[in-house]
Amino acid sequence: MNIIWARSIVSLLLLALVCAAIAAATSVRTALIVAAMALVAQTLFSTYHTERLWRLLDAPVYGEVPSAPGVWGEIYYRLHKLAKRWHAQVRQVEQQHSRFIQAIQASPNGVAMLDDHDQIEWCNAIAEQHFGLDAKRDLRQHITHLVRHPDFVRYLNSHHYDEMLVMRGMGDKRQNVLSVQAFPYGENRKLVLSADITELERTDAMRRDFVANVSHELKTPLTVLSGFLETLREIPLEQADRDRYLEMMDQQALRMRNIVDDLLVLAKLEGDAKPPSDQPIDMRAILAHLREDAATLSGGRHRIAFAADEGLTVTGVETELLSALGNLVTNAIRYTPDGGSIEVAWTQVAAEAVFSVTDTGFGIPAADIPRLTERFYRVDRSRSRDTGGTGLGLAIVKHVLQRHDATLEVKSEEGRGSTFSVRFPANRSMRRQPVHA
C-alpha cells in the first residue's frame, strides 16, 4: 500500500470517528451534515489543486514548487524531483552534443551532414572553407546547387561511394586539391568528409620529379661510360686515344660519385631530427678553409677578396656549416666568368651574424630565385653541367641553414651578378673573447 492510499484511508477513518462522536453527542442527522460538509470541502480542495496542477503541466516553470498540505504537497514534490531529473538528463545530452560538435569543429577534415534530399543539415568550419559554404546561410540548401564542381555532382548522384573523389581547382585561388568521400547512414542520409591534400599532392609531385631527375642525372654519365667501355673493348685504339677516353670515363665516374655523395648528405640531414650542437664553432678555421678552397678552384682566374670579423662566431655543427658556406663560395666561382670578382664577407649586422658571397657572374632571373633550393633545379642545365655542379648544392644549403635557424637571402640581376646572404639569428650569434699573449 503506497502513501496516497494510506493517507486517504486514515482521513476516512478520522472522518468516521468524528461523525460517530457527533452522532453520539447530538444526533445522526448532525453527524451526516458534518460528513457531507467535509466531503464537499475535500472535493473543492481536490478540484482546486487539480486545476492548479493542470495549469502547471500546461505551462511548466522549472524550479517552481507549489506548496500544498497533505497528499497534494507530496504530488508537487515528486513532480519537482521528476522534472529536476529530466532537466539534468537534458543538460547532460546538451553537453554531450556540444562536446561532439566541438570535436568535429576541431577536426582537420571537413564534415557535412546531408538529409535524404542531399540538403545541408550541418557542416563544420573546415567544410565551409573547402566548399565555400556558410553553415547558417546555406542550411537546407541542396549541396549541388552550391558546390557545382562537375566531378562532385557526378560523384554524389552516382550513389557509389566506395572510392574517394579527388577534386582539383578548389579554394579561393582555385589551386587546392581535396579528397572527398560520402558515407551513407540513417534513412538515406549522407556524411560527406573532405580533406585538403594539396601539400600531399605537391610532395608526391616533388618525389616523382626527384626520382626522374636522379635517373636522368645518373643516366647521362652511365651512358657515356658504357659507350667508352664498348669502344675500348671492340676498337683498337692508339695509346693517346685510350688515355683520353679513360680520363673522360674517370670524369663521368667522379660526377656520379659527387651526385651520390650529395644525395647521402641530403638523406642524412633530412633523417637527423636532432638539433645541431649549441657549441661555438671555430669560424676562423672555416673562413681559412673557404679561402684556400676558393683559391684552388679559381686557379687565379678570378679576383677573390675575404673580409671577416674574426671575433664573430656562431653555434652549431662545424662540418655542416663548412659544407653549406662552401657550396655558396664554390657556386660563385663556378658561375663567374674568368676575370670576374668574388667578395666574401663575415660581419655582424645588428644582433645577427651575416655571411655573404657577392659575385659578378651571369646573374639569376627573378622567376628562378624562389626555386633555387629545389633538388636538381638549374637555371641553365648545360652551363651547370659544364661547371661540374650536381644540382644538389643549394638544397643541402637550405637544410643545413634550417637546422641552424638561419635564413638564405638571394639578390641577383641578370648579367650583373648575385649576392647570397646567410643570416644567423641573435640566439646563435656570439663574440669570442680575445686571446691575450
What is the Cα 387 distance to its own chain's centre?
40
Q: Note the pLDDT of residue 42.
A: 79
CB atoms within 10 A of CB 3: 9
One-letter amino acid of 171: G
Domains of the chain by start residue, with CATH: 3-101 (no CATH), 108-196 (3.30.450.20), 202-271 (1.10.287.130), 283-431 (3.30.565.10)
C-alpha cell of 368?
A: 628562378
Give the whole-angstrom CA distance, residue 421 versus residue 408. 6
Residue 412, CA distances (Å) to 257, 267, 371 in order: 31, 29, 14
Question: How many DSSP H helices and E strands does the chain contain?
Answer: 12, 12
Residue located via cell numbers 543539415: 121
- By three-state DSSP, how is residue 294 classified? helix
Contact 97, 145 (CB under 8 A): no
Q: Mean pLDDT, consecutive 10-residue segments, the chain of 437 residues? A: 69 79 79 82 82 76 72 79 84 87 88 93 91 90 92 91 88 79 91 91 78 75 82 81 83 80 77 74 92 91 92 90 92 91 93 94 88 76 53 85 91 90 92 59
Give the whole-angstrom CA distance, residue 172 versus residue 189. 29
Q: Note the pLDDT of residue 273.
A: 63
User: Hey, which bits of 231-381 come out as E strands?
Assistant: 303-308, 312-314, 341-349, 352-359
Q: Is 213 buried (19+), middle (13-18) or exposed (0-12) by CB count in 10 A?
A: middle
Q: Note the pLDDT of residue 434.
A: 55
Q: Is 95 buried (19+), middle (13-18) or exposed (0-12) by CB count in 10 A?
A: exposed
Give the whole-angstrom CA distance, residue 189 versus residue 411. 57
C-alpha cell of 67?
A: 506548496
Ranges of H-type helices in 272-317:
283-298
In this structure, the dihedral spanned by the alpha carbons of residues 76, 78, 81 and 83, taken in order and rounded to 10 degrees, is -60
Q: Note the pLDDT of residue 261.
A: 79
Handedness of CA 226, 227, 233, 239 (dihedral sign): negative
C-alpha cell of 12?
A: 476516512
Counting Cα atoms < 13 Å in the Cβ hemisphere of 271 gives 6
Give the whole-angstrom CA distance, residue 157 versus residue 182. 11
Residues in CB range of 395: below 8 A, 6 or more apart:
266, 373, 374, 375
One-letter amino acid of 30: T
Q: Note the pLDDT of residue 156.
A: 92
Q: Note the pLDDT of residue 381.
A: 52
